A and B are shown apart, each in its own frame.
Chain A
């Protein structure tokens, strides 16, 4: 106890420089913390209130969140039907967690993913089973953000595995194509890929075939993240010991059997931290679809701020959305660390 206090004292006031730093930090806290607390907590308006009441109170107007959270979370999806995106969102999250838990074989994972995809589309789009039809341009908010991130990374997986194997291939043409694809995509910004998808996909397809805006953005995100995912998987491939491949070959397995049954599964496990980081980045980057006009969580917030009465509370609105993103991203990184620990136990046991 005394030892801890002494070491704390040494760390706070150990040298002249450190003492000055401590004093400066205390002065900073003393002058700004009260202002911050008064704004965010004591003078804030918490529950439903008019904008005028908010201004009169002088602090943060969390009443904005109370007033607009349905618009922020679900965008322009019809108000009475918003239980549908909510269920679709929860279903997606449950399925992703189940799929990542490594408790199920790949056949049940694929079957679950396809069934989940069908269920989400039926729920969101409707038009069957007595659900009213909601076209994709009304989808929005948090469900859209999650669908784009999850759909993007799942769609990218087969392409990325092919590219990662292609980059290590002994065949010059295939290696060349993989390298050029990966390096070109990694050299351009996601915004430009989104623009390309939204302007050029209609031009590149036969005249009668129309792809809607949501699907175009999803294609762009998939193609973009495939290049980064391929590099993460290649890192995993390099870490798989050579003996594994040699053992597989000596058992008489061919290239595809060796790759898909022996090497790639181990590489994916080794690449879990890198893939999780990539997914966090992708989850944040889905906010860029707002630039091509999709109402994701961030653009829905901006649209909620379009109401002239509430326009001046953008700080509160953005802080609330930032909190949502922080919660999601922290959860992903926590979960991936847990997963990593479990695979390590798996390997050692």
Chain B
């Protein structure tokens, strides 16, 4: 920082010296900032004392004393405030990760549909995008929540979406495996590892022989273990099916209407944005690229996979990253429909302890960390996509 090093000859030139002026400006700004912070801190200390609000993070270890509707880890009213916050954080992460996956899938459909040449499909997709993007997310969440909790028929007449899957006022009911359910994600993971391993091998082989790598062996390796184990479990193990009693459904697994409404609302809202981003990415690939691919004799599928998508992704990944960030931040709207996310549990804790400063500091740093994690991951992915294109 050259501005900070002042030589005696420069000092002699006094207040007209640019380096001196730069230093003085920065010092004045710093002093003003420090003064403001000190003023606010003094007011804060006075106000907290006047209202006899305690300070410090000691409350995190005290018993919370309230119930939480949904929790991934063991939690009861006697658990601590800190644990309640952890429950909220996990609930937020559940919504954010499921929301990112679902909105990407739905966004692909929207993006492809709006590029379709079929005159029945593309206007419908355009209409969807315009309507969704021009209404507040909160309004859509209220709408879905009202549909799910008021307009569905009673449990006895609940619509059956798939065999054993019911959408009722009490939530989404579905069958769960009684034992050995962990085998399915394990098989999925094994498939993923096999797929990645095959990918590395196939790329190396393609580089050696010059023959293009085939797509289907990798896909087979990815899906086969999952399908096999799922079928084996479905046949041999028994399911815990939701069944109707006089008081509604019992047994099976259940997703609360709050979470269902939040997931539907968030995914459909963000799908419109993701669809537009993907559409823009695909449209950014020049016509010449398609013509060159056709001239080389590539099939439509190969053109899409080898020419269009890699180039479209380069354009689409940065805006996609900021859309995922938006989604993660928008999970905080859960508070409006009563899903116990980080924000809503934080709000409850503020109301119980009065320690707004500490709780809001914790909430904001957690959201900042989440945002930072997503943008780091997307930057890494972006660098990978960009590098592949450049080489």
Contacts and interface: CB of A to CB of B under 8 A. Distances in A.
B is bound to A = yes
Contacts of A287: 136, 138-139
Contact of B368 (A187, A298, A311): A187
A195 interface: yes
A-side interface mostly: helix
A203 B332 contact: no
Nearest to A21: B118
Contact of A191 (B22, B131, B333, B350): B333
A284 B150 CA distance: 25
Nearest to A291: B336
Contact of A172 (B3, B44, B143): B3
B336 A290 contact: yes
Contact of B121 (A25, A191, A330): A25
Contact of A200 (B325, B356, B372): B356
Interface stretch (A90-98, A112-120, A263-271, A321-329): A321-329
A154 interface: no
B120 interface: yes
Contact of A196 (B30, B46, B330, B360): B360
Given A21-B118, A172-B26, A199-B350, A187 B46 contact: no
Nearest to B26: A173
Given A188-B364, A188-B368, A325-B136, A318 B146 contact: yes
Interface residues of B, number: 58
Contact of A174 (B26, B137, B330, B364): B26
A172 B1 CA distance: 8
B48 interface: yes
A280 interface: yes
A187 B118 contact: no
Nearest to A325: B135
Chain A, interface size category, equals: 35 or more
A234 to B, nearest CB: 15
Contacts of A280: 134
Contacts of B46: 206-207
A128 interface: no
Most buried by B among A26, A170, A280, A284: A284
B146 A207 contact: no
Contacts of A202: 47
B33 A187 contact: no
B119 A199 contact: no
Interface in A165-192: 170-174, 177, 184, 186-192
B367 interface: yes
A5 interface: no
A315 interface: yes
Interface string B1-25: 1010000000000000000001001
A173 B29 contact: yes
Given A189-B367, A290-B336, A321-B139, 17 more contacts: A21-B118, A29-B120, A171-B22, A173-B29, A187-B325, A190-B329, A192-B332, A192-B363, A195-B343, A284-B135, A291-B336, A298-B139, A314-B143, A318-B142, A318-B146, A325-B136, A326-B134
Interface of A: 8, 11-12, 14, 18, 21-22, 25-26, 29, 170-174, 177, 184, 186-192, 195-196, 199-200, 202-207, 280, 284-285, 287-288, 290-291, 298, 302, 311-312, 314-315, 318-319, 321-322, 325-326, 329-330
25 contacts: A11-B117, A21-B116, A21-B120, A21-B121, A25-B118, A25-B121, A25-B124, A172-B1, A173-B30, A187-B371, A188-B364, A191-B332, A192-B343, A192-B364, A196-B360, A202-B47, A204-B43, A291-B333, A298-B139, A315-B151, A318-B139, A322-B139, A325-B134, A329-B133, A329-B134
